Structure 1
Amino acid sequence: MTERALGHSPKAVHVSIVHQASDVRVFVRECRSVAAAGYDVTLFARSPHPFEEDGVRVVPVPEPTNRLARMTVGTWGLLKPLLRERGDVYHLHDPELIPLGIVLRMLGKKVVYDAHEDLPAQVLGKVWIPKPLRPLVAAFARLVIQLAGRGLSAIVAATPTVAEGYGKARKVVVCNYPLILDDRAPIPYADRTGGLVYVGALSGIRGFHTMLEVARIVHEKRGVGLTLVGRLQPATLEAELAGKQAYVDYRGVLPSPEARRLMGESKVGLVLLQATKAIVDALPTKMFEYMAEGLPVVSSNFPLWAEIVEDSGAGAVVPPNDPGAAAEAVLAILDDQEEAAAMADRGRKAVAEQYSWEPELRKLLDLYAELAPAPQMR
């Protein structure tokens, strides 16, 4: 009899050729949590070296030289290594991997596709795709996700809106709510030494230019600056930070614990993403992370986001392309320390009661158990 048959932990193999091994949804939330639940977890992802952390074995994937290489050699070169893993469940995180998932499924494997975003809507906002071609590429993307819905074992979707695109496929919505790692008390609002903060990918569509103008206005009126954490997309945006060092502190990409520490030291978290279909219908992970750290939020006033912020009382919402309105909302928070502290408390309470990762993990584990029943679990 094999070790698996004797009752050893079932094996989950997560795969991404796009995401770094430290990706918050892939590694911190899903892989690490699934390992803690008793699974043998291997993650194929971008990393400079192999390592093992918190029960997750990380196998580096080759860095592609371009997008075409990523979709061809980068994808199909993984077939044999993945088969050698003999996984009970294969969990794929990139649309480029869907054809590979179909082949694994044909070979009798249980394959889950993790739909992080609304792919067709996301394509329409890709600046590297010539604008006249975007509708055609979006139509092709719709065909790809239909193929995934029909050919794979199940779809894990990051939001209900994303799940709708997969029709009658077996679907589970697993939202990007924060993983509450501890119950430490937040720094009292009045004792925080930071100012404004943004953590996440930095691009025009994610509010980069709006945030720079907000930072200029707020610094001019209150002497408070903005800390930016994340990857510039494209890297040429760094040139736009020249001459703004007095009120913008760009830290680059930071490990998750350090990013969380910065949030906990700051006074206002910005989520001023611009209006695209992919963004408007998404659940903004950083908003929930700010709230979990007791950080008042100033966000774009998209209906879904406004409902979250206003119902929880955790901040203010403004038009995403109006830096003046955003600056006024920030100043109102900075000028009313008592209300700001109350916003911080309400945000933490909302995350603990409504927007935490633990119920989402339960849904993922139930799906795994349904696809590959475990002989022995912790």
Structure 2
Amino acid sequence: MKIIVLAPVHRYDDIRVFRKEAASLAAAGHEVVLFARTPDGKPRTENGVTVIPVNYRSRWQRFAQLPRLAATAYRGNADVYHLHNPDTLPLAAWLWFQGCCVIYDTHEDFREEILLRRWLPKFIRRPAAVAIAAAESIAGKILAGVIVTQEQLLSRIPEAVVIGNPPIVDVALARAALVARANMPATAEVTLGYLGGISEDRGLFRMLDLLGAMNEVRATRLRLIGYPVNDDALSRAKERPEWQWVDYRGELPQSEAHRQLIGVDAGLVLFQDVASHRHIDPNKIYEYMMLGIPFVATNFDDWRHRVTTNSAGPAGIFVDSNECPGEAARMVLDLVTSRERSLEASEAGVGYVVSEYSWQAAGAPMLFALYDRVQDAIRNTALRRP
């Protein structure tokens, strides 16, 4: 089949959009064309996926060019149009009216997440959240398929398929990370790590509070990798005294980011209890596991359930969102300064993602099953474009 993927919000090499879904579909023999942002504004072909650049200077320009994007995609005459996130809901509706086969793919519960978008005027956020929730519910009823990452979304989109965020596991890398960690020399300084979007709601200030408390007991640094999202928290963080202990590396290609993280004593995922954070499938935890890094995560029930009802139980620790920084620091130090406990956590994490929860074993098969169902419907003419 020819599949056109529309993801104008995302960089072309986005982990979920490109490396997990588009590349998997291309490897399965489909012709895949991806419309997404590129750093140089030029088309490219990578991992069997043809990338068409979608570039803009502002968010409003992004919205303004959606009609042209829809028309260009329509002329591509695809068998399936796979659209990512709420920006593309108007395109999904228009393509459906043209008789196209459309799959809608939402990565978060945007009914909640839109309330955190500070670039959006505050008086618009709640009406926008209501409109998005209603549109996604309708999409579930009329489109060929809907993909969500959170099980609680099934209450308003019962037709959806839940495909979580398991990591793409490089078994050789995971095994090498374990060997490297077992051979790491003891050091006087503790190094913590974080990889991902940087904002207040994603725990930037909680990480700084923890960093300050740990430095009262033991020299500690934070290796911060990622890019600012949602707010200006990064610029505000640079004004805090704890910033002296931060090594900010900016946004890096995934392979380089992973290389920079190997060797940190613990990986942080200290999200605040806002929006739908407590329900997300926390990809960062799984990435840390694959790299043999013990995790320190917010104590959300859904997160704890995912990684303590299986072999990943001792792969890290959970810290309550209202835990005082001093107590959190004590818990982290107990984890990272015990070589036996740290290695046990590393082995448990690697074992879990290699044998139980990888994209190859838990994500890609569900994506392929959805596409098999859609392809059968197309063959039966139920979803054939006129």
Q: TM-score scaled by structure 1? A: 0.89
What is the total number of aligned residue pairs between the two structures? 362
Shift of 1:78: 0.8
1:191 paired residue number: 184
Aligned positions of 1:161-200 closer than 5 A:
161-167=152-158, 169=159, 171-184=160-173, 185=175, 186=177, 187-189=180-182, 191=184, 195-200=191-196
Residues 210 and 321 of structure 1 are in contact (CA less than 8 Å); yes or no, is this contact kept in structure 2? Answer: no
Instruction: Give the distance between the partners of 1:151 and 1:127, measured in 2 at CA.
Output: 32
2:374 paired residue number: 371
Instruction: Give the distance between the partners of 2:139 and 2:275, measured in 1 at CA.
Output: 21
Secondary structure of the equivalent of 2:56? Answer: coil
More deviation in 190-199 or 257-266? 190-199
The reply to whether residue 241 of structure 1 matches residue 238 of structure 2 is yes
Shift of 1:76: 0.9
- Please give the per-residue CA displacement for 1:252-281, whole angstroms capped at 9, x wherever unaligned: 111011112223221101010000241111
Secondary structure of the equivalent of 1:338? Answer: helix
User: Counterpart of 2:171 in structure 1: which amino acid?
Assistant: D
Q: TM-score scaled by structure 2? A: 0.87
Which of the residues 283, 289, 292 maps onto 2:290?
292
Q: Structure 1 residue runs of 4+, over 6 Å off?
A: none
1:5 paired residue number: none
Let me know the Cα RMSD of the aligned residues.
Answer: 2.1
Tell me: CA distance 1:162–1:190, structure 2 relative to 1, closer, same or farther (3 Å).
farther
- Please give the per-residue CA displacement for 1:88-117, whole angstroms capped at 9, x wherever unaligned: 211101212112112212222211000111
Give structure 1 stretches of 5+ with no counterpart.
Answer: 1-9
The reply to whether residue 346 of structure 1 matches residue 338 of structure 2 is no
Shift of 1:147: 2.6
Residues 199 and 232 of structure 2 are in contact (CA less than 8 Å); yes or no, is this contact kept in structure 1? Answer: no
1:217 paired residue number: 213
Aligned positions of 1:99-178 closer than 5 A:
99-131=90-122, 133-167=124-158, 169=159, 171-178=160-167
Residues 192 and 222 of structure 2 are in contact (CA less than 8 Å); yes or no, is this contact kept in structure 1? Answer: yes
Which of the residues 321, 336, 339 maps onto 2:338?
336
The reply to whether residue 202 of structure 1 matches residue 194 of structure 2 is no
Residues 207 and 320 of structure 1 are in contact (CA less than 8 Å); yes or no, is this contact kept in structure 2? Answer: no
Tell me: CA distance 1:331–1:174, structure 2 relative to 1, closer, same or farther (3 Å).
same
Secondary structure of the equivalent of 2:228? Answer: coil
2:262 paired residue number: 264
2:382 paired residue number: none
Shift of 1:205: 0.5
Instruction: Give the distance between the partners of 2:138 and 2:166, measured in 1 at CA.
Output: 28
Instruction: Give the distance between the partners of 1:64 and 1:81, measured in 2 at CA.
Output: 20
2:315 paired residue number: 314
User: Counterpart of 2:276 in structure 1: which amino acid?
Assistant: A
Secondary structure of the equivalent of 1:348? Answer: helix
Residues 218 and 225 of structure 1 are in contact (CA less than 8 Å); yes or no, is this contact kept in structure 2? Answer: no
User: Counterpart of 2:248 in structure 1: which amino acid?
Assistant: Y
Residues 214 and 326 of structure 2 are in contact (CA less than 8 Å); yes or no, is this contact kept in structure 1? Answer: no
Secondary structure of the equivalent of 1:145? Answer: helix
Instruction: Give the distance between the partners of 1:158 and 1:282, measured in 2 at CA.
Output: 7
Give structure 2 stretches of 5+ with no counterpart.
Answer: 380-386
Residues 269 and 298 of structure 2 are in contact (CA less than 8 Å); yes or no, is this contact kept in structure 1? Answer: yes
Tell me: CA distance 1:108–1:115, structure 2 relative to 1, closer, same or farther (3 Å).
same
Secondary structure of the equivalent of 1:191? Answer: coil
Residue identity (%): 33
Instruction: Give the distance between the partners of 1:44 and 1:273, measured in 2 at CA.
Output: 30
1:62 paired residue number: 55
